[in-house]
Amino acid sequence: MKIGIIGLGLIGGSLALDLTNLGYHVIGVSRQLKTCNQAIERSIVSQASTEFDILAQTEVIFICTPIGSILITLERIIKHLPPDVIITDVGSVKGSIVPQATELWANFVGAHPMAGTANQGIEAVEANLFKNAPCVITPLENTSTKNVERVKNIWHEVGCKIYETTPEIHDRAVAWISHLPVMISANLINSCINHENQEVVNMAKKLASSGFKDTSRVGGGNPELGLMMAQYNKEQLLNSLKEYQQNLSLIINDIETEKWENLEHLLTKTNQERPNFL
């Protein structure tokens, strides 16, 4: 089976590499010729081009561009394709993508593989990136179940754990566990550097250890990705941020008024509950 992948960055490139290693004929499309050449040289794909018409021979196409380009890319490619081609995406937001994409292309299936590293671009491509990562498929009521199964099977083959839900539940869930963490983590870094006392900031930089490193990781990641999360999942992210902030006020109040039993209860609960997320 010939599979098309548009966008050969961390996600698209790593998916291409795994599928090539599984024996698929993978055709990559990138805006940059240099990326196409690199993808061929490193055996990430079998063929690559900067032109969309090369995708006409594929059966399933993965749009692996940044979220903001998914719908534009879809509009541009469909004129090159026979109508039975399945098109899917890897966008981290689904509600603002899937209904519109499905209107443009009936054989569209929304998906979101939740894998990544701090790096980006084709240089960051790695084999087995998706092993044990969750991948959410978000069909609409009128999405063909046969198409859903084909997309699920491909993600299953590269090692993902497959889940299925609506775009809305997906977006609310990822606002909590993916987009909110980016904002609170970025706010941590920003608050630490904006502090008025330079002696404190300098010592903080020297002393920052694994705790700061982990808590600040996603907030120090790709700015374009964080911005897209906020733009494309605005309402759900705002709900989460506001609830988060209200809860933070309660913690501040407990510390201020020395209600240590409340804080202890909270920290005991978070200690017990965290493993349920891992």
Site for its own copies in 236-255 (CB under 8 A): 237-238, 240-245, 247-249, 251-252, 255
Which among 154, 175, 79, 66 is positioned nearest to 109, based on CA atoms? 154
Contact flags string 126-145 toward its own copies, x per CB under 8 A: -------xx-x---------
CA distance linking residue 133 with residue 113, whole number of Å: 7
Query: CB of 257: closest distance to its own copies in angstroms?
Result: 11
Residue number with CB closer to its own copies (76 or 131): 131
Contacts of 95 (CB under 8 A, 6+ apart): 167, 168, 170, 171, 233, 236
Residues in 68-107 at the binding interface with its own copies, rule: CB under 8 A: none
Task: Give me the least distance between CB of 64 and its own copies, in Å please.
Answer: 17
Number of chain positions touching its own copies (CB under 8 A): 93
Write out the DSSP string of 75-88.
HHHGGGS-TT-EEE
> Should residue 182 be labelled a site residue for its own copies when binding is judged by CB under 8 A?
yes
Among 21, 100, 159, 176, which residue sits at the site for its own copies (rule: CB under 8 A)?
176
Quick check: 190 binds its own copies (CB under 8 A)?
Answer: yes
| Distance between CA atoms of residues 269 and 275, nearest Å | 11
Nearest residue (CB) to its own copies, 150 versus 217: 217
Q: Is the dihedral of CA 69, 72, 74, 76 positive or negative?
A: negative
Q: Provide the minimum distance between the beta carbon of 103 and its own copies in the complex, in angstroms, as a whole number.
A: 25
Structure token pair of residue 163 = 């889940």
CA atoms within 13 A on the CB side of 241: 16
